[in-house]
Chains A and B, each alone.
Chain A
């Protein structure tokens, strides 16, 4: 969207901030760029901007209807109230209806519906049927109870819970196409600043696209109830500058770190149940039920955003995942303290 189109949005943001002063963080929620509130009012992609622009148009129409009809209601209640008991004794003139009046006020909603429908249809087609650029990055998103798997088929990368995509600038427009799948039940991919949500449904591949214009970290979470830990299926999307993204890709493409100093921990990983569910490339661990851990330490959080990725949290998580996410599908591993120390020492080398 051009700067010309964006200016009225800025002034409307100002008014929204004035109208909703009671709304804490309203000003920050309406600010540009990444923020901790996943606000639908601070769009940074073309689809999100188009939706926001459309929503303001709809808000204008519905707001006008509200003021007119609400005003008529208030006027009628004040003007036609029974003033005193004596007044109430006499019944008012009885009016049974009027075909002309009925017709008149049927035509107005019809016209409003026509305008709203045409405007909406234009944006639906603009977003859903936008031509797909050849240069678009492809990412396959797989929803799991209760975490996200991200696969970059063209780059040979598999990661989890923290999606990295390149920023789209005027000089270098880059869009990312997400193919949405599910391994178990319905989920929904929703990062409000990046656009609307699309569901991940088993046996029903979906697609959505993003072209974020401002780099940074964008927050979201699963938006379709998917079971006991639905609330902790958080979503982090890093929009990287081209340099950051290239560096990230290079790192992710490396096999898992092999450090002789933590060989004991690696042996535990490969001989205990860990390897049944997790993958670390370059080792015997090729499980696919849980997140790929090859570059675990490149992620800021564990357990799909439920906890910071620190050695202490890793230790606590392995000992008992339920303390962060009751109902998480990873079992408590029943390892000795020494084994956990060695395992965590190994995991923390997986940069």
Chain B
């Protein structure tokens, strides 16, 4: 309508006015564009990251001194349940699927995901699942009729979830909202698999696919296998609670152990579902900032697939204290330790990628280096926990809390920050401030180590998890105070990050198509990319198509096998 510039008497002005707020919102609600959905996922996850972070702060205030009365026991139990559930299901999974949504089609030279409508449907399922979980704060009644959000721990061990011990509806909100968001997760996983397998551009064989896409493919396959038993267990739980079932009801011959198996055959692979996308991010960023191709691409693919398979066989290492036989314990010790082999291969390959490179310490790389260092430690404390007899001491202590926060924060959150610094220019067309980024990195790093390094020691000194307070004579006072202080340092780091996101959106340097001099296809299109991603379908001949263009005399396809 732009050429209708001459006035026609009586004609209605058909020029679209500048989109109003409502129209703008509407465009986000009805979108099926993978980039917009990716951003929705990420914004949704960052919102819940702040919510669950605030819950963590409340937890740390309560534990800063012994016999504190900052929150009541009932509220404390809700806080740690909601903190865990939120971080895993409403932050970890959505943010990683957000990156997958945004990046997978761009990286494989496609114009969208395989099923754009399913994509939108999955996002809104996940979103409503999360909203339903938080609606429990006003809609349900918890144990003992005091609280009203779920308060049975994110692991929700039976039979504490039975109606006898958890009256009211808080546990129902927990189960139902995870079933709903679980279906959303399954939809996205199917979509990623279909996209990676069938939407690749010309010339992109599976063995030329960026490692990011490979790892998301593995993760999506694992998601299909692991979300299913969780959903089944939650359906059984609801049957127990409302239809007179006795799956987990020990009083009527049911078995609480069955819940443990169902939960952990979901719960342990879930850790890898969260950490493999972090590896995926590191696999993209470390080579670019080392200025070298990833070392041992086929080995990295094999190790990722290997981790995917082995991780399905280790779930009962969460159950060393439930009274399995010695042979059973020994089996899960071995299977758990085996995960260390492919993981070790990955760490060595990252080191070899750094080796002989010309490393640039931009903010995305700093976060990836933090990831490498912390993941090394997390892996080693994981080996310690896999040693069943030592696990009898460490299980359910703060040592375990320290270990899995080293994985979830030290590895995954660090990689997520790296990813945001790395791809924010692509999504917005603006660079994040490097100065603020470095402040963010160092403040967050220092806070992280104050908190989580110290937690290992308080665990070794016998402090169990899930306790709303502790006795003053146990020798845990100073350590807990230090842990709480570190928590606030991390919070300052996150606030710097949030400010950076807002500030740079308006004032950041223009990014251009390819600010990092990178090699994968998403950097060949404009920032932000047009709706159709690529004006011309790309054709690739190697794993680093942009390297080939930039170095026509020395292209990758001559050397890759």
Contact among A51, A125, A204, A229 with B323 in the assembled complex (CB-CB below 8 Å): A204
- State A204–B477 Cα separation when bound (angstroms): 36
Other 5 A-B pairs with CB < 8 A, given A73-B354, A92-B291, A96-B295: A47-B389, A72-B351, A113-B334, A224-B157, A227-B165
| Per-position 1/0 for A217-246, Cβ under 8 A of B | 001111111111111001000000000000
CB distance from A245 to the nearest CB of B (A): 25
Does B356 contact A92, Cβ atoms closer than 8 Å? Answer: yes
Contact among B250, B257, B470, B559 with A96 in the assembled complex (CB-CB below 8 Å): B559
The 10 closest A-B pairs by CB, nearest first: A196-B392, A38-B462, A202-B250, A37-B475, A231-B467, A203-B250, A97-B296, A206-B323, A225-B466, A192-B462
Contacts of B380 in A (CB 8 A): 62, 65-66
Interface 9-mer from B266-274, B336-344, B404-412? B336-344
Does B354 contact A80, Cβ atoms closer than 8 Å? Answer: yes
- A sample of 5 cross-chain residue pairs with beta-carbon separation below 8 angstroms, ordered by A number, consists of A106-B344, A186-B158, A197-B392, A201-B323, A203-B253
Does B333 contact A124, Cβ atoms closer than 8 Å? Answer: yes
- Which residues of chain B in 56-85 are interfacial with respect to chain A, using CB atoms and an 8 Å cutoff? 72-74, 77
> Is A207 an interface residue, CB under 8 A from the partner?
yes
> Is A259 an interface residue, CB under 8 A from the partner?
no
- State A199–B157 Cα separation when bound (angstroms): 12
Contacts of A327 in B (CB 8 A): 73-74, 144, 146
CB distance from B171 to the nearest CB of A (A): 12
Does A223 contact B159, Cβ atoms closer than 8 Å? Answer: no
Contact among B251, B256, B396, B479 with A188 in the assembled complex (CB-CB below 8 Å): B396
- State A29–B152 Cα separation when bound (angstroms): 32
- State A185–B165 Cα separation when bound (angstroms): 8
Contact among A41, A94, A196 with B321 in the assembled complex (CB-CB below 8 Å): A196
- State A58–B393 Cα separation when bound (angstroms): 14
Q: Quick one: given A38-B474, A220-B462, are A82 and B360 in contact (CB under 8 Å)?
A: yes
CB distance from A187 to the nearest CB of B (A): 10
CB distance from B234 to the nearest CB of A (A): 18
> Is A32 an interface residue, CB under 8 A from the partner?
no
CB distance from B377 to the nearest CB of A (A): 7
Interface 9-mer from B9-17, B21-29, B368-376? B368-376
> Is A326 an interface residue, CB under 8 A from the partner?
yes
| Per-position 1/0 for B317-356, Cβ under 8 A of A | 0000111011001100110011011001101110110111
Does B461 contact A91, Cβ atoms closer than 8 Å? Answer: no
> Is A95 an interface residue, CB under 8 A from the partner?
yes
Does B295 contact A97, Cβ atoms closer than 8 Å? Answer: yes
Which residue of chain B has the shortest Cβ distance to A325 in the bound complex? B73
> Is A76 an interface residue, CB under 8 A from the partner?
yes
- State A142–B384 Cα separation when bound (angstroms): 30
> Is B471 an interface residue, CB under 8 A from the partner?
yes
Does B351 contact A120, Cβ atoms closer than 8 Å? Answer: no
> Is A253 an interface residue, CB under 8 A from the partner?
no
- State A108–B341 Cα separation when bound (angstroms): 9
- State A304–B476 Cα separation when bound (angstroms): 20
Contacts of B329 in A (CB 8 A): 124, 128
> Is A77 an interface residue, CB under 8 A from the partner?
yes
- Which residues of chain B in 294-310 are interfacial with respect to chain A, using CB atoms and an 8 Å cutoff? 295-299
> Is A1 an interface residue, CB under 8 A from the partner?
no
| Per-position 1/0 for A88-122, Cβ under 8 A of B | 10111111111001100110111011001100110
Does A69 contact B376, Cβ atoms closer than 8 Å? Answer: yes
Contacts of A96 in B (CB 8 A): 293, 295-297, 559-560
CB distance from B204 to the nearest CB of A (A): 18
Contact among A39, A50, A188 with B389 in the assembled complex (CB-CB below 8 Å): A50
Does B293 contact A186, Cβ atoms closer than 8 Å? Answer: no
> Is A20 an interface residue, CB under 8 A from the partner?
yes
Contacts of A203 in B (CB 8 A): 250-251, 253-256
Does B160 contact A58, Cβ atoms closer than 8 Å? Answer: no
Q: Quick one: given A69-B376, A95-B356, A327-B73, are A62 and B383 in contact (CB under 8 Å)?
A: yes
Question: How many CB-defined contacts (below 8 Å) exist between A and B?
Answer: 301
Does A186 contact B256, Cβ atoms closer than 8 Å? Answer: yes
> Is A270 an interface residue, CB under 8 A from the partner?
no
> Is A23 an interface residue, CB under 8 A from the partner?
yes
> Is B525 an interface residue, CB under 8 A from the partner?
no
Does A185 contact B323, Cβ atoms closer than 8 Å? Answer: no
- Per the CB 8 Å criterion, the residue count for chain A at the interface is 99
CB distance from B458 to the nearest CB of A (A): 9
- State A201–B157 Cα separation when bound (angstroms): 11
- State A39–B393 Cα separation when bound (angstroms): 10
- State A145–B337 Cα separation when bound (angstroms): 36
Partner-B contacts on A (CB < 8 A): 20, 23-25, 28-29, 36-41, 47-48, 50-51, 54-55, 58-59, 62, 65-66, 69-70, 72-73, 76-77, 80-82, 87-88, 90-98, 101-102, 105-106, 108-110, 112-113, 116-117, 120-121, 123-125, 127-129, 145, 180, 182, 184-186, 188, 190, 192, 195-199, 201-204, 206-207, 219-231, 234, 305, 326-327
| Per-position 1/0 for B544-561, Cβ under 8 A of A | 000000010010100110
CB distance from A16 to the nearest CB of B (A): 10
Does B73 contact A58, Cβ atoms closer than 8 Å? Answer: no
Does B322 contact A25, Cβ atoms closer than 8 Å? Answer: no
| Per-position 1/0 for B183-204, Cβ under 8 A of A | 0000000000000000000000
Which residue of chain B has the shortest Cβ distance to A70 in the bound complex? B376
Does B321 contact A80, Cβ atoms closer than 8 Å? Answer: no
Contacts of B159 in A (CB 8 A): 184-186, 202
- Which residues of chain B in 356-387 are interfacial with respect to chain A, using CB atoms and an 8 Å cutoff? 356-361, 369, 372-373, 376-377, 380-381, 383-384, 387
CB distance from B250 to the nearest CB of A (A): 3
Does B475 contact A80, Cβ atoms closer than 8 Å? Answer: no
Which residue of chain A has the shortest Cβ distance to B324 in the bound complex? A128
- State A129–B389 Cα separation when bound (angstroms): 13
> Is B473 an interface residue, CB under 8 A from the partner?
yes
Contact among B165, B295, B359 with A81 in the assembled complex (CB-CB below 8 Å): B359
CB distance from B311 to the nearest CB of A (A): 15
Contact among A29, A87, A180, A184 with B165 in the assembled complex (CB-CB below 8 Å): A184
Contacts of B428 in A (CB 8 A): none
Does B293 contact A188, Cβ atoms closer than 8 Å? Answer: no
> Is B119 an interface residue, CB under 8 A from the partner?
no
CB distance from A137 to the nearest CB of B (A): 20
Contacts of B292 in A (CB 8 A): 92, 94-95
- State A108–B344 Cα separation when bound (angstroms): 9
> Is B137 an interface residue, CB under 8 A from the partner?
no
Contacts of A20 in B (CB 8 A): 457
Does B396 contact A197, Cβ atoms closer than 8 Å? Answer: yes
CB distance from B249 to the nearest CB of A (A): 9
- State A229–B389 Cα separation when bound (angstroms): 28
Does A94 contact B290, Cβ atoms closer than 8 Å? Answer: no
- Which residues of chain B in 200-252 are interfacial with respect to chain A, using CB atoms and an 8 Å cutoff? 250-251
Which residue of chain A has the shortest Cβ distance to B296 in the bound complex? A97
Does A197 contact B321, Cβ atoms closer than 8 Å? Answer: yes
Which residue of chain B has the shortest Cβ distance to A108 in the bound complex? B344
Contact among B255, B326, B334, B354 with A204 in the assembled complex (CB-CB below 8 Å): B255
